[in-house]
Structure 1
Amino acid sequence: MASSSLGFAESRQRRTAQVLLFVTPALFTANMLLARATADFIPPVALAELRWTGVVLVLLPFCGRELWRNRAALRRDWARYALLGLLGMGICGAGVYYGAATTTATNIGLIYAVSPVIIILLSRAMFGERLSRRQGLGAALALTGVLVIVLRGDPAALLALSFSTGDLMILGAAISWALYTVLLKRWPDPLGVQARLTAIALAGAILLLPLLGWELASRGAPHFDLRTIATVVTLVLVPGVGAYATYSYITEHLGPSRTGLLLYLSPVYTAVLAWLLLGEAFALYHWLGAALVLPGLFFATHKPKAT
């Protein structure tokens, strides 16, 4: 009976993770939209520092006791938290904000579409993880849908692409995110999702401080008006607490390779949000891309029941 109950709980957690797989990209998309919208009034390192410090302040009341109980483990594994903070909050925080100011949305979408492939390669090279043929075909289908969207249905657009310093920063952030995802799953941790995110976010915020000092000396502090405060609050709650917590949950129950596939949904969600918020047209290639991405994600993440 206990074994049956445990199996039911695990099955329910997997189903929850599969649902969150389609919700989390929308939370991450908010980060990129705000990064591009605020490039002229909030410096990138300050934006990353405010985001992750805010995440720590929001989560600490809920998991402070758990962190205190596990203080011995935190001292023992401090280097792991520091590395995860550097990868997930430092490079993928300030790095993305720097890159977003100097590259195009098409290039960002195309570069980040490679992240799931990098995750799969790292998982296989570092830990021997493999995807089934069915899951591999689903990943290929989803990648095809992403390319349809970012190239606007025109394969010839590949020949017109040019790459800048911002593109290299985005590529570095994509590689950093892939490594963060793999290590997040493979490193055992006694903490729950909220407490672990708090510890990693605190490490990332601390590691950003030297770079923040340089930025404040060279560019000055951001002006704190209502617009700045609203931006920071949104970043803390939506792509900060919300996106990273759900991403950690999905990684725990589906594994890094399948979790990384959710990045394929970002171009789809970006197009939908631009249509809803900015009044941009939702073109035929958006529908075609979504028609490829959504079933591709299903095949790549859903394991058929054994018969």
Structure 2
Amino acid sequence: MCALGATALWAGNFIVARGFHHSLPPVTLAFWRWVIAVAVLLPFALPHLVRERARIKAHAGYLFLTAFSGVTLFNTLVYVAGLATTALNLSLIAMVSPLFIVILAWLFQGETMHGAKVAGTLMAFFGVLLLLTGGSPGVLLELRFNIGDLLMVVAALIFAFYSLLVKQKPPGLSMMTFLGATFCLGLIMLVPAYLWERGFSLAPLMPLTSMGVLLYLGVCAAVAAFALWNRAIMLIGPGRTAVCYYLLPLFSGVEAMIFLGEPIGWIHLASAGLILSGVALSSRSSG
């Protein structure tokens, strides 16, 4: 349920951010998203950060690496990639991330690749392909890859790397301390890129009309989603958690129908059946 909740919130993130890059440039969007996330989380995390400061210092290298990959780089690259490529390309490339997670977990963390997990992952993969191509495989042959596509591939790999790092969280660090430290460190590492993008300008920092969207991105798609995703990884491992990410296009489709009035057809229903069956199959334990 934690992984499903995180995926649903991230689907809303894509719905909200789809036309939002015209209002704020990508690094600025990422920066203010994490400013709000830190502002919301810090009052709850501060007592934990103070109490566990010795452990934070002892694991500073791990926390910097996790913050840099999951907070500083991942979402920023997604927003930058969105400026240079199509939504179809982004969706196709984004679904590679769960495959990266499963493969990296198998290579470096010894997660078992039993038959059910392999079959379920492939089933979910083809379900997403069916959804994104509209049942016409020829669409894939017409794709043209550019710098945005390459950046999205890098973002997908970084997200997989981050998910594996979460599984390696030192046992002495509470999840609140982990989130508070990585959010703060990731935001700090975003500052130079933010100032560079703004040309070191002291012009108005953020339009008030953007506050509602940024509040959603900061509170729901950052604090709540990352907390749920990290909790899922700790409970069931990165491989099984990753498969739930295949549900992202389904959640996006439902939310687009509700909030944007976009229709759902037989392709969506057929792909939903494949994806849900694949998730259920892959989530079965090897025992």
Task: Please say if 1:227 is aligned against 2:233.
Answer: no
Q: In 1, distance between residues paired with 2:248 and 2:144?
A: 21
Deviation at 1:206, TM superposition (A): 0.8
Q: In 2, distance between residues paired with 1:96 and 1:278?
A: 22
| Residue of structure 1 in register with 2:20 after alignment | 38
Q: In 2, distance between residues paired with 1:114 and 1:209?
A: 29
Task: Please say if 1:127 is aligned against 2:109.
Answer: yes
Aligned partner letter, 1:190: G
- Which of 161, 178, 183 is the aligned partner of 2:143? 161
Q: Is the 8 A contact 1:144 1:292 kept in 2?
A: yes
Q: In 2, distance between residues paired with 1:178 and 1:112?
A: 11
Unaligned runs of 5+ in 2: none
Structure 1 residues 221 and 148: CA distance shift in structure 2, 3 A? farther
Matches within 5 A, 1:50-69: 50-69=32-51
- Which of 282, 286, 292 is the aligned partner of 2:268? 286
What secondary structure does 1:55 align onto?
helix
Q: Normalising by structure 1, what TM-score?
A: 0.89
| Residue of structure 2 in register with 1:269 after alignment | 251
Q: Normalising by structure 2, what TM-score?
A: 0.94
Q: 1:172-208: per-residue Cα shift (whole Å, max 9, x none)? A: 1100000000111023242322321111111110111
Aligned partner letter, 1:261: V
What secondary structure does 2:199 align onto?
helix
Q: Is the 8 A contact 2:56 2:173 kept in 1?
A: no
Aligned partner letter, 2:111: E
Deviation at 1:266, TM superposition (A): 0.9
Q: In 1, distance between residues paired with 2:2 and 2:50?
A: 29
Q: In 2, distance between residues paired with 1:218 and 1:167?
A: 29
**Higher mean C-alpha displacement, 176-185 vs 260-269:** 260-269
What secondary structure does 1:39 align onto?
helix
Q: In 1, distance between residues paired with 2:156 and 2:9?
A: 17
Q: Is the 8 A contact 1:181 1:256 kept in 2?
A: yes
Q: 1:196-255: per-residue Cα shift (whole Å, max 9, x none)? A: 111111111011111111111078856633321111111111111111000001000010
Q: In 2, distance between residues paired with 1:190 and 1:167?
A: 39
Percent of aligned pairs with the same amino acid: 32
Structure 1 residues 280 and 219: CA distance shift in structure 2, 3 A? farther
| Residue of structure 2 in register with 1:141 after alignment | 123
Aligned partner letter, 1:198: G
Q: In 2, distance between residues paired with 1:203 and 1:189?
A: 20
Aligned residues between the structures: 287
Structure 1 residues 179 and 215: CA distance shift in structure 2, 3 A? same
Aligned partner letter, 1:59: L
Unaligned runs of 5+ in 1: 1-18
Q: Is the 8 A contact 1:41 1:223 kept in 2?
A: no
- Which of 208, 218, 237 is the aligned partner of 1:236? 218
- Which of 132, 144, 158 is the aligned partner of 1:176? 158
Q: CA RMSD in A?
A: 1.7
Aligned partner letter, 1:291: G
